[in-house]
Chains A and B, each alone.
Chain A
């Protein structure tokens, strides 16, 4: 490393800080893991030393680091960079590749492992993700990726390979260059360059512990050319046992424009078949373990990995795979390819991985601050922050039933469809006649998919001959836009589609005094039920839709979202003497349930047909063609199995999800339940199974007697909404 590493610093200060096993000092093995500044599994050899750094020895054996995060840590910064070429590795091959690309005038980003810049993976994109001392880099090369990660040194697998004092030849070079005294060095295999050492000729046999320190090597035994074991006394053994390419990045980057240069392309040296010792130091897998699983039928690399866990530790098989391959080849199998290469090739923390991610913010309506100022408990629902209640659900409920109330319904999906093809498109999308809907009129509609299942509901409002406003549920509007655009394209419809969900605010004015409030706001001739008009309301231009979800007289005021706050405040002010107070969703759930209105998503499931929802009235099969018609006709011919029904019972409401029983047999479950303050009993919607072809009437819910009844529960004739 260009800066002094923790490994070199500590070795210099206090002697070998590793816990045993051969040390590569190049980020490939697991021998120098430590807990550094609270982060376990950190390689000392890859971490630049800083004064004040807290380095704790890593637990090993049966001991594992604690599952914890200590103290505060600054968030990791993420940078996204676009360039022509990314060169991973700045050894001689990488330097040359970068120079060559620059000479061609290309914009090159280099990642220098020696400078703490580790590529952790190549992803589709292509995207190279790298951890650097300056944070995470997300690199998008336009032309190519050059992998110049070189090769890792093969680790020894012989008895005693867990002793301290074993270093690879390159580690011997770099540690010596850092001024560290490694004592008497005996080199096995290729000796280190420019390091004074004795060479032990022949094949490595085992390491022996020192007489004075049982954790350290005291001698290395090698078998010489004549087959005689020679004992070489030493303080340190340098191991030059061959190279295996660090080609995981190259192998994981299938299908992208990536190529390797230098040692990463070399064929891996195959070590001799191991006969004893630890193969996988990360998981403590021995050669005996390999023999054992092989004898039990685990013959291929991937199965041996899963059976022994060799290769599933922090070094991801870099140390053990050459030996496991050699072992399996020696058992007579063909030489098997290494493990599938997957990210991450170098370890980083979850905090580092998450760098640059952020919460997908839940949208807020223009009235969000108003709700909070009024003491609302805000909740995520249908993909928006919405007021759940303003502190007094009963008072909110009664304001709607007896006075006047406001509800922020800006979250409703709102879409304008216009153009010569609008009527034909909507005729195709909706299961009711559109052509006969007069301008200025609205109607309730179901949206069906091709399988005849209800995917959303809302209103179709005709603004003119070729112009319509459509509404959808809050949670369904994104999908509805895709759905409508997709059909418009398929049918080649000459229409313009504008999603106004976020550009328009919507306030529902509801209650027996709603008309009075609009009069105070200057509306002298409000639209009749299921009509709409463009009117000035308290000085704000509004599309006023007369409809009802609460069961009372209701006007839905659609307006530019920028005017929402002014409109809301003026209406609250004008309604003061009328007993106005806003209501949240909790009250709305009660109000709509008393009216038996279904909420798509809560009361329906993926396979709810109009018939199952008891909404056959909202489907006109005499229409020759609409999405889902064939499926509805087909399924209507099949005996009905269950239906969404209304229920009532005395006493408090059961939990939503409560099961329904008929004569001791399961008969369905409740999807919505509430205590009705007006009816003085609990009212519910739920799925009821037919029994002998009929819907049972007397049932048990929550262990209590209950009745199936027709909906609406409240004002069944709908006189109040039309008043």
Chain B
């Protein structure tokens, strides 16, 4: 048997949808399922349903570029993502499953004096809040990643970089499945191919959901959907400061594992890493125009291939395997939106932009704590929806837009 299959989870699906649950989570992606997992494992709340309109992990959880990092630009984000980096490091021990977690180190490259300034600033803020990031010289960069063209094909010389040793990756599907297995083992029901078509209200309060499998009553409804969160929130009468944009990526065929780190360049707008399978995985920035579609674009792949070759010339002769598109829910301050919504009984975890995968463990842990205690944990208090009304937004210019 294939080694890849041998270490796989065991998913025990529920037989039927029950008429009522304590908690109904809309969206069977990483955030929805990890929230269910932490409700069950940390708070003993197991009468939970996760409703997924397709198969689990079919949305952005299975379309992202699997990068884990905490090198954000504002203290609140650094603390939050560092907690996720830590939870990811212990996820295999926690679930007993191989999620192919590898700590690789992440280089964020500067091609100009302005870029140097930005990467130095990143290192300062990260270090102050518990995420290790140091500024490294071109000589150190070459040691970390000898494949880089330090001249950027004569166009994009490499001046320096911030280096984040905790930068890591994990197999996205496996993260979702490990949480799903753990949650279902404790009695959580994950219903695939079950779409939410409406919300049930009693006065102002959201008391359940209408689904393609019939109505379900719920003590709490959490929207953990990606891509159409504004539509779900609108059912609860909640407006969200969210726009949805496409983000594309591509992989090459499999090659020998010789590309160790994750490399990102804001100047060129690309980042690259090698997957556990051996593919080179390359991503870029979000498309400027809002869209929900999963169409793949040619302009994207042509330009992105060109820019990534400028950074890593060996890519030129690699064969491209597949390109795909995910959608990113971007909040106006480029930070997540988690917790209470003003509609009693209805919670959201959204605004996951380009950083949803890396926050799956901490997002689930914190949302579960919020649901179980009815209080917003300190770590996610800065990311409440009411920050937009209260002039307490969490702008993070340095982190906007990429991986």
Chain A residues within CB distance 8 Å of chain B: 38-42, 63-70, 73, 121, 123-125, 127, 129, 138, 252, 283-286, 288-289, 292-293, 296-298, 300, 302-303, 306-309, 312-314, 316, 342-344, 347-351, 353-359, 379-381, 388, 451, 585-586, 601, 605-609, 634-635, 638, 641, 655-659, 666, 669
Write out the residue numbers on chain B whose beta carbons fall within 8 Å of the beta carbon of A286: 1-2
Given contacts A283-B2, A354-B306, A666-B128, 11 further A-B contacts (CB under 8 A): A285-B2, A313-B321, A342-B323, A347-B253, A350-B252, A351-B309, A353-B305, A358-B306, A605-B396, A607-B395, A669-B125
Measured in the bound complex, the distance between the Cα atoms of B113 and A541 in whole Å is: 35
Q: Identify B117's interface contact among A121, A351, A641, A656, CB under 8 A.
A: A656
| C-alpha spacing A284/B3, complex, angstroms | 10
Q: In B86-145, which residues have CB < 8 Å from any A CB?
A: 111-114, 117, 120-125, 128-129
A123 with B9: CB separation less than 8 A: no
Contact B256–A655 (Cβ < 8 Å) = no
Query: Do residues A40 and B319 form an inter-chain contact, with CB atoms below 8 A?
Result: yes
Given contacts A65-B255, A69-B313, contact A605 B322 (CB under 8 A): no
A41-B319, A388-B113 known; A127-B298 Cβ under 8 A: yes
Contact pick for A70, options B123, B303, B317, CB 8 Å:
B317
Within the complex, the shortest CB–CB distance from B112 to chain A, in Å, comes to: 5
A586 touches B298 (CB 8 A): no
Known: A297-B13, A357-B305, A606-B393. A308 touches B2 (CB 8 A): yes
Are B114 and A379 in touch, CB under 8 angstroms? yes
A64-B255, A297-B13 known; A309 vs B306 contact (CB < 8 Å): no
A354-B309, A606-B395, A659-B125 known; A307-B5 Cβ under 8 A: yes
Complex interface: chain A residues within 8 A of B1 (CB): 286, 288-289, 292
Q: Is the CB of B296 within 8 A of A121?
A: yes
A353 / chain B contacts, CB cutoff of 8 Å: 301-302, 305, 320
Could you list 14 examples of A-B contacts with CB < 8 Å? A41-B253, A64-B255, A67-B258, A68-B314, A292-B8, A296-B11, A312-B322, A344-B320, A344-B323, A347-B320, A347-B321, A451-B332, A606-B333, A655-B121
Point out the residues of chain B lying under 8 angstroms from A655, CB to CB. Answer: 120-121, 123-124
- Write the residues of chain B forming the contact surface with A, with a CB cutoff of 8 angstroms: 1-2, 4-6, 8-13, 55-58, 62, 75, 111-114, 117, 120-125, 128-129, 147, 155, 173, 177, 252-259, 267, 274, 277-278, 280, 295-298, 301-303, 305-306, 308-310, 313-324, 332-334, 390-397, 400
B180 to chain A, nearest CB (A): 9
Q: Which residue of A lies closest to B318 (CB)?
A: A350
Complex CA gap A586/B113 in Å reads 9
Partner of A356, one of B121, B124, B302: B302
Q: How far is the CB of A258 from chain B (nearest CB, A)?
A: 14
CB neighbours of A283 from chain B (8 A): 2, 4
- Beta-carbon contact of B305 and A350 below 8 Å: yes
Separation in Å of the A122 CB from the closest CB of chain B? 9
Asked if residues B125 and A67 are in contact (CB atoms below 8 Å), the reply is no
Could you say which residues of chain B place their CB within 8 Å of the CB of A67?
147, 255-256, 258-259, 274, 280, 314, 318
Q: A296-B10, A344-B322, A605-B395 are in contact. Are A350 and B316 (CB under 8 A)?
A: yes
Central interface residue in A67, A296, A669, by most chain B CB within 10 Å: A67
Q: How far is the CB of B176 from chain A (nearest CB, A)?
A: 9
Write the chain B residue with the least CB distance to A254. B295
Interface centre among A300, A354, A356, A358 (most CB of B within 10 A): A354
Instruction: Identify the interface centre among B122, B257, B321, B334: most chain A CB within 10 Å of its CB.
Output: B321
Q: A351-B316, A586-B113 are in contact. Are A343 and B296 (CB under 8 A)?
A: yes
What is the minimal beta-carbon distance from B319 to any residue of chain A, in angstroms? 4
Q: Which residue of B lies closest to A660 (CB)?
A: B128
Known: A349-B319, A641-B392. A66 touches B297 (CB 8 A): no
Rounded to whole angstroms, the CA-CA distance of A292 and B58 in the bound complex is 21
- A20-B333 Cα distance, complex, nearest whole Å: 55
Give chain A residues whose Cβ lies under 8 Å from the Cβ of B12. 297
What residue of chain B has the Cβ atom nearest to residue A65's Cβ? Answer: B255
In the complex, the answer to whether A298 meets B11 with C-beta atoms within 8 Å is yes
- Contacts of A354 on B, CB cut-off 8 Å? 302-303, 305-306, 309, 316
**Chain A residue contacts of B5, Cβ below 8 A:** 285, 289, 292-293, 307-308
Inter-chain contacts of A40 with B (CB < 8 A): 253, 255, 317-319
Query: Chain A residues with Cβ under 8 A from B323's Cβ?
Result: 342-344
Known: A66-B255, A68-B314, A124-B295. A658 touches B320 (CB 8 A): no
B246 CB, nearest partner CB in chain A, Å: 11
How far is the CB of B277 from the nearest CB of chain A, in Å? 7
Q: What is the CA–CA distance of A634 and B112 in the complex, to the nearest angstrom?
A: 39
Given known A-B contacts A606-B397, A607-B393, A349 and B320 have beta carbons under 8 A apart: yes
Complex-state Cα separation, A163 to B37, whole angstroms: 46
Q: How far is the CB of A652 from chain B (nearest CB, A)?
A: 14
- A309 contacts across to B, CB distance below 8 A: 2, 4, 277
Which of these, A41, A121, A296, A586, contacts B8 with CB under 8 Å? A296
Measured between alpha carbons, how far is A354 from B301 in the docked complex, in Å?
Answer: 8
**How distant is B307 from chain A, measured CB to nearest CB, in Å?**
8
B256, B324, B400 — most chain A CB neighbours (10 Å): B256
Nearest Cβ on chain A to B91's Cβ, whole angstroms: 18
- CA A162 – CA B277 in complex, angstroms? 22
CB contact between A306 and one of B62, B125, B305 (< 8 Å): that residue: B62
- Closest residue of B by beta carbon distance from A358: B306
A658 is contacted by which of B124, B295, B318 (Cβ under 8 Å)? Answer: B124
- Inter-chain CA distance A166–B216, complex, in Å, is 55
Taken together as a complex, chains A and B put the C-alpha atoms of A274 and B6 apart, in Å, by: 20
A630 nearest CB across to chain B (Å): 13
Which listed residue (B125, B309, B318, B392) contacts A657, Cβ 8 A?
B125
A residues in contact with B334, CB < 8 Å:
606
B333 x A607 contact (CB < 8 A): yes
Q: Write the nearest CB–CB distance from A254 to chain B, whole angstroms.
A: 8
Q: How far is the CA of A586 from the CA of B117 in the complex (A)?
A: 12
A51 to B114, CA, bound (A): 51
Contact A73 B317 (CB under 8 A): yes
Could you tell me the distance in whole angstroms from the C-beta of A142 to the nearest C-beta in chain B?
Answer: 18
Contact between B124 and A669 (Cβ–Cβ < 8 Å)?
yes
Q: Which of B62, B122, B274, B319 has the most CB of A within 10 A?
A: B319
Q: How far is the CA of A353 from the CA of B298 in the complex (A)?
A: 9
Closest to B323 in A: A343
Query: In the complex the two chains form, is B393's CB within 8 Å of A347's CB?
Result: no
Nearest CB to that of A452 among chain B residues? B391
